[in-house]
Amino acid sequence: MFEKIKKGDTIGIIAPSSKIDEDDLETINNSVLLMESTGLKVKFAKNAFKKTLGYSATPEEKAEDINLMFADKEVKMIFSVSGGFNSNSVFDHLDYELIKQNPKPLCGFSDSTSIENIIYAKTGVITFNGPTFKSLTSWATPYAYEEFVKRLMKGDMKLGKDEDEYITIREGEAEGILVGGSLGLVSQLTCGKYSIDFENKILFLEEFYMESPPESVSNYLYYMKQNGVFDKIKGLWIGNYDGSVPLEKIVLDVLGDKYKFPIIKSNNFGHTEKKTLIPVGGKARIDTNKQTKIEIVENFMD
């Protein structure tokens, strides 16, 4: 259970993926101004702007920032500043017991998928697939910012907005814990030392078309299928993918008729301007008979 973020609270900013480019600074500053206008303070981690390796800070530097942000009593939530690559490099250096003892919301999307799911898997602390700090102001609409305010400041559990469209791909009902995010990264968490438990989960997936053409998407899905992921989950929620072939078609090509769990589609998460905050580790229910076909069924905000 998290306390709602309120005016006067401090938001911590980490850079667990690629380095921050100079081209990003104006947008990041716009997000700082937005948070300050909301009545919130912004605190950047000490290594956030480092590029020790040329392409990013070191894994140790990035993990130090994450550990310190969770330990910092002044910081009430944490944003990943942006996406990129190699956030999984921090896994060996995170203090999971410290994180477990100091739970607070951590939010991001794309490469943050790795950290969000591993933190939940190792500690049971709910994390959030939603906007990065930069993406609060990098899109043309205030959707992502409004969803941040709705979920973490007002404690509203509704996923997305009333006008968001949900499509039924396969009918049914299911209840389970949410895990997922960017498909390519979720597929890397299928097995091995740092894997996540897919048993009785509702899996949500999206992908960035500029990095993953349809054949790559198919590759990721087949890897998950071959390792038993789709034998375990209770339901599947498909998000944004702007590739030449719809993500739902590729999913059905891979799954065939073997699996009977419900599948729904919406465009309110992923690499798109619409980014609702999805709780990784939160319980949800799919019901394809409803207009809004997925809902959070437990309150994690006090």
Task: State the Cα–Cα distance between residues 258 and 22, nearest whole angstrom.
Answer: 49
C-alpha closest to that of 238 among 280, 269, 282, 196: 269
CB 123 within 8 A of CB 53: no
**Helical (H) or strand (E) element with 251:** helix 247-255
For 162-174, what is the mean pLDDT? 97
CB 126 within 8 A of CB 100: no
pLDDT at 140 (0 to 100): 85
* Residue 223 pLDDT exceeds 90: yes
Domain chopping of the chain, boundaries:
10-153, 166-296
For 290-297, what is the mean pLDDT? 96
C-alpha closest to that of 103 among 1, 198, 29, 10: 1
- pLDDT confidence tier of residue 179, bands split at 50, 70 and 90: very high
- Non-local CB neighbours of 9 within 8 Å, separated by 6+ positions: 40, 41, 76, 77
Tens of pLDDT, residue by residue over 111-159, are 999 999 999 999 999 999 999 999 999 998 999 999 999 999 999 999 9
Tens of pLDDT, residue by residue over 249-286, are 999 999 999 999 999 999 999 999 999 999 999 999 99
Tens of pLDDT, residue by residue over 199-211, are 999 999 999 999 9
Q: What is the CATH number of domain 166-296?
A: 3.50.30.60
**Helical (H) or strand (E) element with 175:** strand 173-182
- Non-local CB neighbours of 154 within 8 Å, separated by 6+ positions: 4
CATH of 10-153, one of 3.40.50.10740, 3.90.950.10, 3.30.930.10, 3.40.50.10490: 3.40.50.10740
- Non-local CB neighbours of 21 within 8 Å, separated by 6+ positions: none
pLDDT at 180 (0 to 100): 98
For 167-191, what is the mean pLDDT? 98
Q: Report the predicted TM-score, pTM, of the whole model to 2 decimal places.
A: 0.97
C-alpha closest to that of 286 among 196, 206, 201: 201
Residue type, 33: L
